[in-house]
Amino acid sequence: MKFYPDIRNPFDYDAAILADGERMEHELPLRLLKEAPYVCCCDGAAAHCDRADAVVGDGDSIPDNLREKFKAVFHRVSEQEDNDLTKATRFCLEKGFRRLVYLGTTGRREDHTIGNLTLMVRYRQEMGVEPLLATNYGWFVCTEGTAEFESFPGQQVSLFNFGFSHIEAQGLRYGTYAYRQLWQGTLNEAESERFTIVTDGPMLLFRTYEAKNNK
């Protein structure tokens, strides 16, 4: 059984990848960036990071002053088949990093947000990454099979089907089924300190930092 901890508590990860999306304001993603063992920035995201162990991308969104500042750690990848987030992911994999935290990947452009979220499934399925994507409101993980999630009563939980035909859940307020559309698994709720989910295919799961106010 795979266990997914609550990121409000310390947990182990290999590196953080920072994209050039919505700026982080919540203390948890900010802490994840600060405490990351290794920080890899996607191109222009380096403008919003005090520390970058590597800057990876095609170079189209990094100004000349930043290119000069980070020239010792800038790694240009010119191919256009994949976006900078995927190029940064491959770079981290080449260094042996597989437990990756993704930050700054949502907001600003909605098409980029949707693309980045669905890439988490690709990274896990095709590249063997253990992805965690944190926003200003909560975090996503990608899972399959039997998994236990650390939680708290009232935590909002949303489930997105990316290929399962069967699902069982214990510890959630509302029943689950093999959702055919993405909206159908949203806005469930944890009832205790743990919940368990079993699927026969990949799923993207979101948990909020704060509990729902049911008053």
Q: What is the pLDDT of residue 171?
A: 97
Higher pLDDT, 119 or 108: 119
The answer to whether residues 118 and 7 touch, using CB atoms and an 8 Å cutoff, is: no
Token pair of 138, please? 């909560």
Has residue 76 got a pLDDT over 50?
Answer: yes
Using pLDDT thresholds of 50, 70 and 90, give the confidence band for residue 214: low
Token look-up 């510890």 returns: 171
pTM: 0.92
Contacts of 108 (CB under 8 A, 6+ apart): 21, 22
CA-closest candidate to residue 198, choices 173, 174, 175, 164: 164
Q: What is the pLDDT of residue 59?
A: 67
Q: What is the CATH number that goes with domain 8-136?
A: 3.40.50.10240
Q: Is 89 helix (H, G, I), strand (E, B) or coil?
A: helix
Domain extent listing, the chain: 8-136, 142-211
Has residue 61 got a pLDDT over 80?
Answer: no
Using pLDDT thresholds of 50, 70 and 90, give the confidence band for residue 51: confident
Q: What is the pLDDT of residue 37?
A: 96
Residue 199 pairs with which residues in a beta bridge? 145, 167
Has residue 57 got a pLDDT over 50?
Answer: yes
Mean pLDDT computed over 201-205:
96
User: Is the C-alpha dihedral spanning 65, 70, 72, 74 positive or negative?
Assistant: negative
Q: Beta-carbon neighbour count of residue 99 at 10 Å?
A: 15
Q: Is 100 helix (H, G, I), strand (E, B) or coil?
A: strand
Using pLDDT thresholds of 50, 70 and 90, give the confidence band for residue 83: confident
Higher pLDDT, 44 or 171: 171
Residue 155 pairs with which residues in a beta bridge? 211
Using pLDDT thresholds of 50, 70 and 90, give the confidence band for residue 22: confident
Query: Which phi-psi region, left, alpha or beta, contains residue 76 (left: φ > 0; alpha: ψ -120 to 50)?
Result: beta
Residue 76 pairs with which residues in a beta bridge? 57
pLDDT tens per residue, range 3-13: 999 998 888 99
Q: What is the pLDDT of residue 215?
A: 45
Has residue 169 got a pLDDT over 90?
Answer: yes
